[in-house]
Protein backbone atom coordinates (compact mmCIF):
# COMPACT_ATOMS: atom_id res chain seq x y z
CA UNK A 1 0.00 0.00 0.00
CA UNK A 2 2.73 2.43 0.91
CA UNK A 3 4.84 4.11 -1.72
CA UNK A 4 8.35 5.27 -0.94
CA UNK A 5 7.67 8.55 -2.75
CA UNK A 6 5.06 9.44 -0.14
CA UNK A 7 7.78 9.38 2.52
CA UNK A 8 8.98 12.78 1.31
CA UNK A 9 5.57 14.48 1.44
CA UNK A 10 5.31 16.98 4.29
CA UNK A 11 2.18 18.98 3.52
CA UNK A 12 -1.14 20.10 4.97
CA UNK A 13 -0.96 20.39 8.76
CA UNK A 14 2.17 18.22 8.96
CA UNK A 15 4.74 21.08 8.81
CA UNK A 16 3.21 22.90 11.78
CA UNK A 17 2.78 19.75 13.89
CA UNK A 18 6.27 18.64 12.91
CA UNK A 19 7.70 21.97 14.06
CA UNK A 20 5.72 22.25 17.30
CA UNK A 21 5.90 18.58 18.35
CA UNK A 22 8.67 16.64 16.57
CA UNK A 23 11.30 19.37 16.60
CA UNK A 24 11.49 19.86 20.38
CA UNK A 25 10.97 16.14 20.95
CA UNK A 26 13.89 14.74 18.95
CA UNK A 27 15.54 17.29 16.65
CA UNK A 28 16.66 20.18 18.86
CA UNK A 29 19.49 18.37 20.72
CA UNK A 30 21.07 17.25 17.46
CA UNK A 31 20.54 20.64 15.83
CA UNK A 32 22.60 22.31 18.54
CA UNK A 33 25.25 19.62 18.12
CA UNK A 34 25.39 20.13 14.36
CA UNK A 35 25.60 23.89 14.70
CA UNK A 36 28.55 23.61 17.10
CA UNK A 37 30.33 21.31 14.67
CA UNK A 38 29.76 23.70 11.77
CA UNK A 39 30.90 26.72 13.81
CA UNK A 40 34.15 24.93 14.74
CA UNK A 41 34.99 24.72 11.03
CA UNK A 42 34.85 28.54 10.72
CA UNK A 43 33.15 28.54 7.31
CA UNK A 44 32.49 31.65 5.25
CA UNK A 45 29.57 30.10 3.39
CA UNK A 46 27.28 27.29 4.53
CA UNK A 47 24.66 25.36 2.57
CA UNK A 48 22.00 23.46 4.45
CA UNK A 49 20.04 20.83 2.56
CA UNK A 50 16.79 19.24 3.76
CA UNK A 51 16.41 22.13 6.20
CA UNK A 52 12.81 21.22 7.02
CA UNK A 53 11.21 23.76 9.33
CA UNK A 54 14.57 25.30 10.17
CA UNK A 55 15.68 23.89 13.51
CA UNK A 56 19.31 23.58 12.38
CA UNK A 57 19.10 26.87 10.50
CA UNK A 58 18.08 28.66 13.69
CA UNK A 59 20.89 26.97 15.61
CA UNK A 60 23.39 27.91 12.89
CA UNK A 61 22.22 31.52 12.96
CA UNK A 62 23.08 31.61 16.66
CA UNK A 63 26.35 29.68 16.40
CA UNK A 64 28.25 31.15 13.46
CA UNK A 65 29.45 34.74 13.01
CA UNK A 66 27.14 37.26 11.40
CA UNK A 67 29.37 37.49 8.34
CA UNK A 68 28.97 33.76 7.61
CA UNK A 69 26.45 33.30 4.83
CA UNK A 70 23.79 30.65 5.45
CA UNK A 71 21.73 29.27 2.56
CA UNK A 72 18.96 26.97 3.80
CA UNK A 73 17.17 24.74 1.29
CA UNK A 74 14.50 22.06 1.27
CA UNK A 75 12.59 20.14 -1.37
CA UNK A 76 9.26 20.91 0.33
CA UNK A 77 8.13 24.52 0.03
CA UNK A 78 5.53 24.15 2.86
CA UNK A 79 8.33 23.20 5.24
CA UNK A 80 10.41 26.20 4.16
CA UNK A 81 7.37 28.45 4.50
CA UNK A 82 7.01 27.30 8.09
CA UNK A 83 10.74 27.83 8.69
CA UNK A 84 10.65 31.34 7.24
CA UNK A 85 7.55 32.24 9.27
CA UNK A 86 9.33 31.26 12.49
CA UNK A 87 12.43 33.07 11.31
CA UNK A 88 15.98 33.35 12.62
CA UNK A 89 17.74 35.90 14.77
CA UNK A 90 19.63 37.15 11.72
CA UNK A 91 18.99 36.99 7.99
CA UNK A 92 19.46 33.72 6.14
CA UNK A 93 18.64 32.84 2.56
CA UNK A 94 15.72 30.43 2.22
CA UNK A 95 15.54 28.64 -1.13
CA UNK A 96 13.52 25.72 -2.41
CA UNK A 97 15.98 23.23 -3.85
CA UNK A 98 16.29 19.51 -4.51
CA UNK A 99 19.38 17.96 -2.92
CA UNK A 100 19.50 15.70 -5.96
CA UNK A 101 20.06 18.66 -8.25
CA UNK A 102 21.46 21.62 -6.34
CA UNK A 103 21.10 24.94 -8.20
CA UNK A 104 24.52 26.24 -7.11
CA UNK A 105 27.90 26.59 -8.79
CA UNK A 106 30.64 24.08 -8.17
CA UNK A 107 33.07 24.75 -5.32
CA UNK A 108 30.92 27.51 -3.84
CA UNK A 109 30.48 26.44 -0.18
CA UNK A 110 32.81 25.66 2.70
CA UNK A 111 30.35 23.37 4.47
CA UNK A 112 27.30 21.43 3.38
CA UNK A 113 25.22 20.37 6.36
CA UNK A 114 22.18 18.09 6.38
CA UNK A 115 20.26 17.01 9.46
CA UNK A 116 18.25 13.78 9.14
CA UNK A 117 17.67 14.27 5.42
CA UNK A 118 19.92 11.67 3.80
CA UNK A 119 17.45 8.89 4.60
CA UNK A 120 14.91 10.54 2.28
CA UNK A 121 17.19 10.90 -0.76
CA UNK A 122 16.01 8.56 -3.54
CA UNK A 123 19.59 8.14 -4.83
CA UNK A 124 22.00 8.80 -1.98
CA UNK A 125 25.28 8.53 -3.95
CA UNK A 126 23.90 11.05 -6.42
CA UNK A 127 22.81 13.45 -3.66
CA UNK A 128 26.15 13.04 -1.90
CA UNK A 129 27.85 13.75 -5.23
CA UNK A 130 25.92 17.00 -5.48
CA UNK A 131 27.13 17.97 -2.00
CA UNK A 132 30.70 17.18 -3.05
CA UNK A 133 30.32 19.18 -6.26
CA UNK A 134 29.29 22.40 -4.49
CA UNK A 135 31.98 22.08 -1.80
CA UNK A 136 35.27 23.87 -2.18
CA UNK A 137 38.36 21.62 -2.03
CA UNK A 138 38.91 20.90 1.65
CA UNK A 139 35.30 21.72 2.47
CA UNK A 140 33.30 19.46 4.74
CA UNK A 141 30.09 17.52 4.20
CA UNK A 142 28.46 17.05 7.61
CA UNK A 143 25.26 15.13 8.13
CA UNK A 144 23.48 12.86 10.57
CA UNK A 145 21.13 9.91 10.31
CA UNK A 146 19.05 8.12 12.90
CA UNK A 147 20.32 4.83 14.26
CA UNK A 148 18.10 1.76 13.90
CA UNK A 149 14.61 2.10 15.33
CA UNK A 150 15.30 -0.24 18.26
CA UNK A 151 17.73 2.40 19.60
CA UNK A 152 15.03 5.11 19.43
CA UNK A 153 12.45 4.22 22.01
CA UNK A 154 9.45 6.43 21.25
CA UNK A 155 9.55 5.66 17.52
CA UNK A 156 9.85 1.95 18.24
CA UNK A 157 6.96 1.90 20.70
CA UNK A 158 4.66 3.84 18.35
CA UNK A 159 5.54 1.63 15.38
CA UNK A 160 4.87 -1.55 17.35
CA UNK A 161 1.60 -0.15 18.73
CA UNK A 162 0.32 0.68 15.25
CA UNK A 163 1.20 -2.83 14.11
CA UNK A 164 -1.33 -4.17 16.63
CA UNK A 165 -3.97 -1.84 15.22
CA UNK A 166 -3.26 -2.70 11.57
CA UNK A 167 -1.84 -6.25 11.82
CA UNK A 168 -2.45 -7.16 8.18
CA UNK A 169 -0.65 -4.08 6.85
CA UNK A 170 1.31 -2.28 9.59
CA UNK A 171 2.44 1.29 8.85
CA UNK A 172 6.23 1.07 8.61
CA UNK A 173 7.26 4.62 7.67
CA UNK A 174 9.40 5.18 10.77
CA UNK A 175 11.33 1.93 10.45
CA UNK A 176 11.54 2.08 6.65
CA UNK A 177 12.77 5.64 6.15
CA UNK A 178 13.87 7.73 9.16
CA UNK A 179 15.49 4.66 10.77
CA UNK A 180 16.27 2.79 7.57
CA UNK A 181 19.76 4.14 6.81
CA UNK A 182 21.79 3.21 9.89
CA UNK A 183 24.37 0.89 8.27
CA UNK A 184 27.70 2.72 8.52
CA UNK A 185 29.30 0.45 5.95
CA UNK A 186 26.60 1.32 3.44
CA UNK A 187 26.97 5.03 4.18
CA UNK A 188 30.75 4.82 3.61
CA UNK A 189 30.17 2.96 0.34
CA UNK A 190 27.64 5.54 -0.83
CA UNK A 191 30.08 8.37 -0.06
CA UNK A 192 32.77 6.57 -2.05
CA UNK A 193 30.37 6.07 -4.93
CA UNK A 194 29.67 9.82 -4.80
CA UNK A 195 33.33 10.56 -5.47
CA UNK A 196 34.59 11.32 -1.97
CA UNK A 197 38.08 9.89 -1.52
CA UNK A 198 38.69 10.77 2.12
CA UNK A 199 37.75 8.40 4.94
CA UNK A 200 34.47 9.39 6.58
CA UNK A 201 34.36 10.05 10.31
CA UNK A 202 31.49 8.44 12.22
CA UNK A 203 30.33 9.26 15.73
CA UNK A 204 27.31 7.68 17.40
CA UNK A 205 25.57 10.10 19.76
CA UNK A 206 22.80 9.18 22.19
CA UNK A 207 20.45 11.76 23.66
CA UNK A 208 17.16 11.92 25.54
CA UNK A 209 13.72 12.64 24.15
CA UNK A 210 11.43 14.24 26.72
CA UNK A 211 7.83 15.41 26.73
CA UNK A 212 5.25 16.55 29.26
CA UNK A 213 3.04 13.52 28.62
CA UNK A 214 2.76 10.48 26.31
CA UNK A 215 0.20 12.41 24.29
CA UNK A 216 2.94 14.65 22.87
CA UNK A 217 5.03 11.95 21.16
CA UNK A 218 1.85 10.15 20.08
CA UNK A 219 0.67 13.24 18.21
CA UNK A 220 4.19 14.01 17.00
CA UNK A 221 4.75 10.67 15.33
CA UNK A 222 1.21 9.86 14.19
CA UNK A 223 0.21 13.33 12.98
CA UNK A 224 3.41 15.31 12.46
CA UNK A 225 5.21 13.00 10.02
CA UNK A 226 4.34 11.16 6.78
CA UNK A 227 3.23 8.31 9.05
CA UNK A 228 -0.03 10.29 9.15
CA UNK A 229 -0.70 9.53 5.50
CA UNK A 230 -0.04 5.83 6.01
CA UNK A 231 -2.52 5.71 8.88
CA UNK A 232 -5.18 7.63 6.95
CA UNK A 233 -4.76 5.33 3.93
CA UNK A 234 -5.76 2.31 6.01
CA UNK A 235 -9.25 1.17 6.92
CA UNK A 236 -10.25 -0.10 10.33
CA UNK A 237 -9.18 2.82 12.52
CA UNK A 238 -9.10 6.61 12.28
CA UNK A 239 -6.10 8.87 12.76
CA UNK A 240 -7.47 9.82 16.18
CA UNK A 241 -7.87 6.18 17.18
CA UNK A 242 -4.36 5.38 16.02
CA UNK A 243 -2.99 8.30 18.03
CA UNK A 244 -4.86 7.06 21.11
CA UNK A 245 -3.41 3.54 20.70
CA UNK A 246 0.10 5.00 20.35
CA UNK A 247 -0.43 7.17 23.43
CA UNK A 248 -1.60 4.17 25.48
CA UNK A 249 1.46 2.16 24.46
CA UNK A 250 3.77 5.04 25.37
CA UNK A 251 2.03 5.44 28.73
CA UNK A 252 2.35 1.72 29.42
CA UNK A 253 6.08 1.88 28.76
CA UNK A 254 7.02 5.30 30.18
CA UNK A 255 4.18 6.28 32.50
CA UNK A 256 1.25 8.72 32.37
CA UNK A 257 3.25 11.80 33.40
CA UNK A 258 6.37 13.29 31.86
CA UNK A 259 8.05 10.79 29.53
CA UNK A 260 11.74 10.28 28.83
CA UNK A 261 13.10 7.98 26.13
CA UNK A 262 16.39 7.24 24.43
CA UNK A 263 17.21 8.57 20.97
CA UNK A 264 20.38 7.79 19.04
CA UNK A 265 21.94 9.00 15.81
CA UNK A 266 25.12 8.71 13.75
CA UNK A 267 27.06 11.89 12.93
CA UNK A 268 28.97 11.67 9.66
CA UNK A 269 31.62 14.06 8.33
CA UNK A 270 33.90 13.82 5.33
CA UNK A 271 36.32 16.23 3.64
CA UNK A 272 35.90 16.99 -0.06
For 53-79, the pLDDT digits (tens) are 999 999 999 999 999 999 999 998 988
pTM of the model: 0.92
Give the count of domains, the chain: 1
**Once rounded to an integer, what is the mean pLDDT over residues 73-90?**
92
Question: At 127, phi and psi to the nearest 5?
Answer: -65, -40
Assign residue 231 the CATH number of its domain.
3.40.50.150
228-270 tens-digit pLDDT: 999 999 999 999 999 999 999 999 999 999 999 999 999 999 9
pLDDT at 14: 62
What residue numbers bound the domain in which 105 lies? 4-271
Whether 34 shows a pLDDT value over 50: the answer reads yes
**Once rounded to an integer, what is the mean pLDDT over residues 140-151?**
98
**Once rounded to an integer, what is the mean pLDDT over residues 94-108?**
97
Whether 214 shows a pLDDT value over 50: the answer reads yes
Amino acid sequence: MDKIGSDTVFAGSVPELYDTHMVPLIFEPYAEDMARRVAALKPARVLETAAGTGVVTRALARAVPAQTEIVATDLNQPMLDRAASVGTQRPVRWQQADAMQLPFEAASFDVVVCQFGAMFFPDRPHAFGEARRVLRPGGVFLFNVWDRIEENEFADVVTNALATLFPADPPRFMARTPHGYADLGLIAADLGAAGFTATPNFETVAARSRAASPNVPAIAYCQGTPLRGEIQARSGASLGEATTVAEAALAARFGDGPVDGKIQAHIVSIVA
